[in-house]
Amino acid sequence: MRHGRFSNMSALVQPTTNCPRTELNSVPVFSVASELQNYINSDHPSQGQKIHSRILKIGFIPNVNISIKLLILYIKSSCLLYARQVFDEMPHRTLSVYNYMIAGNIRHGFVEDAFEKPDGYTFSMILKGSTSGLSSHAVAREVHAQIVKSYIDGDNVLYTALADSYVKTESIAYARRVFDLMLDQNEICSTSMITGYMNRGCWEEAEDVFDKTREKDVVVYNAMIVEMAKKAIEMYIQMQRLDFRPTISTHASVIGACSLLSAFEVGQQIQGQLMKTEFFPHIMIGSALIDMYSKCGRTEDARRVFDYMPKRNVFSWTWMIDGYGKNGSPGEALALFSRMINYVTFLGALSACGHAGLVAKGMEIFKSMEGVYSMRPCMEHYACVVDLLGRAGRLEFIMQMPEKPNSDVWAALLSSCRLHGDVELLQMSFSDCKTRAGRGPTSRCCWKVGGCEPVEGADEGERSIKRKGFTWIGTDAGLEAFHAGRS
């Protein structure tokens, strides 16, 4: 660490030695900690620095808890100089204090300042922030060397972070060595490896990683499906270059691949080809195009296909309603729903109300299922209502359900608990969901509100580093994944 740049601050934070003893004893420690926490949780944490000024003026020596909160306050306020001063003045630094300081340096781009008294979690944080400041590949190899030298017992979290860092720095061979060292090839690391191999066209290696993953989940399957979808479009183009004529099933499958990849430009070209064939009026093709355009946010294109279709089935109606709802057009969604009412379109209507915040209208539609149409709601409908009310902060509905909630309903509640900070209900939701569904995608979202620690009971393998969001874009070389942060 470079300490010289902090030396000119010592005069700012020296405690006043001539303060009366009674004034020191009268400081309410709990209220100070509570007030600091309020500022930490607020949108303007920098305003809490005035509390530190008061502490310095009266000569109060903060305990470890208050010092940690001051450290977090300055980090959240982007004042790393003051955070480091608080850090240096702490007589007893816990491991969590080091991790907070390291995380702050990484967040603000000072990756090179992060190597100090590291443990496994520290190394994971350094790897997570290795894309800023230094060469990512250099940081990954340096961390790997430090892990070996420090005799740190690696766990799934650390190995996953290391393998993921190698994958992102085009060092897939090093990533595979780390992956093979893991006793339990968890689904998080497998997903990263599969994506890395697929991006390089190494299909057999990706399938090998998939086969070696003992406990697969929906994320691992999605990684394979998305990458195979990319390959499907390439194969579709190749077969036509070789003068093979695609069938209706071929077109429908490739349109589905475009939907997964949000590649509506490719979908438009396929539609242009279809309009010259006898396949275009077919209900399978129309429904696939509606789904593809809706998922790409092109509801006007989807509606043109919908209106052109000579015949429509429940999938056509549902995907059009769902497309309107998820793309911010609840009025159009409900207008279509009123023309085709069944169990599936009820889901689309409730989802549309949830995305638009139409709580009263959504509850009116839900109650009409039994009251007007004599349809008994399924668990999927209850999950939509829990999501609808949860977005509005009304989390009590699940306790009033006439049937025992399943994992889908609990998963909807989990998201709402995180959104509104109901930790107690979140803990209960996690416990029930864990009992019912075991390890799965729903349990990975169970993180303690307002902090970075997982909810009690979460598996070690679930303490994962969130991967960057991405989309697919067309380039001269074909479809490529465009990750957040890339230019």
The pLDDT score that the predictor gives to residue 463 is 38
Residues 276 and 344 in one domain: no
Compute the average pLDDT of residues 20-24.
38
pLDDT higher than threshold 60 for residue 334: yes
pLDDT-derived band at 457, boundaries 50, 70, 90: very low
Residues in the chain: 487
pLDDT-derived band at 255, boundaries 50, 70, 90: very high
Residues 254 and 323 in one domain: no
Least confident of 72-86, 312-326, 417-431, 463-477: 463-477
Most confident of 94-108, 175-189, 353-367, 415-429: 353-367
Residues 68 and 85 in one domain: yes
Percent of the chain with pLDDT over 90: 26
For residue range 95-134, list pLDDT tens digits in order: 567 667 767 766 666 655 545 555 666 676 667 655 444 4
Measured CA to CA, the distance from residue 182 to residue 153 in angstroms comes to 12
Whether 332 is in a domain gets the answer yes
Its sign, for the CA torsion 271, 274, 275, 281, is negative
- The tally of domains found in the chain comes to 4
DSSP letter assigned to residue 479: E
Residues 406 and 269 in one domain: no
pLDDT higher than threshold 70 for residue 235: yes
Measured CA to CA, the distance from residue 199 to residue 434 in angstroms comes to 34
Q: Which of 295, 312, 329 is the last residue of a domain?
A: 312
Measured CA to CA, the distance from residue 32 to residue 54 in angstroms comes to 10
pLDDT higher than threshold 60 for residue 14: no
Largest pairwise CA distance in the chain? 93
Whether 394 is in a domain gets the answer yes
Residue 128, domain CATH = 1.25.40
Whether 465 is in a domain gets the answer no
Measured CA to CA, the distance from residue 61 to residue 16 in angstroms comes to 10
Compute the average pLDDT of residues 285-314.
94
Domain that holds residue 333: 313-358
The pLDDT score that the predictor gives to residue 310 is 93
Q: Which of 169, 185, 201 is the last residue of a domain?
A: 185
Residues 159 and 254 in one domain: no
Residues 16 and 32 in one domain: yes
Indicate the average pLDDT of the chain. 74
Measured CA to CA, the distance from residue 334 to residue 430 in angstroms comes to 33
Compute the average pLDDT of residues 325-329.
91
DSSP letter assigned to residue 447: B
Residues 289 and 392 in one domain: no
The pLDDT score that the predictor gives to residue 451 is 40
Percent of the chain with pLDDT over 70: 68
Pair 146, 154: CB distance under 8 Å: no
What's the token pair of residue 372? Answer: 């007007």
DSSP letter assigned to residue 16: P
DSSP helix/strand/coil, 161: helix
For residue range 53-88, list pLDDT tens digits in order: 777 777 667 777 777 888 888 877 777 777 777 877
What's the token pair of residue 445? Answer: 């979202």
Compute the average pLDDT of residues 134-157.
67
The beta strands (E) that lie in 128-278 are given as none
Most confident of 12-21, 314-323, 431-440: 314-323
Least confident of 24-28, 281-285, 313-317, 322-326: 24-28
Residues 44 and 172 in one domain: yes
Whether 8 is in a domain gets the answer yes
Residues 442 and 346 in one domain: no
Residues 297 and 319 in one domain: no
pLDDT-derived band at 35, boundaries 50, 70, 90: confident
Residues 105 and 177 in one domain: yes
The pLDDT score that the predictor gives to residue 424 is 65
Most confident of 82-91, 98-107, 221-230, 290-299: 290-299
Whether 162 is in a domain gets the answer yes
The pLDDT score that the predictor gives to residue 208 is 86
Residues 307 and 329 in one domain: no
Measured CA to CA, the distance from residue 325 to residue 334 in angstroms comes to 8
Whether 198 is in a domain gets the answer no
Whether 423 is in a domain gets the answer yes
pLDDT-derived band at 364, boundaries 50, 70, 90: very high
pLDDT-derived band at 304, boundaries 50, 70, 90: very high
Closest among 47, 50, 43, 40 to 71, alpha carbons compared: 40
pLDDT higher than threshold 70 for residue 10: no
Measured CA to CA, the distance from residue 365 to residue 73 in angstroms comes to 46
DSSP helix/strand/coil, 393: coil
The pLDDT score that the predictor gives to residue 271 is 95
Q: Which amino acid does the sequence have at 68?
A: I
pTM, to two decimals: 0.53
Whether 323 is in a domain gets the answer yes
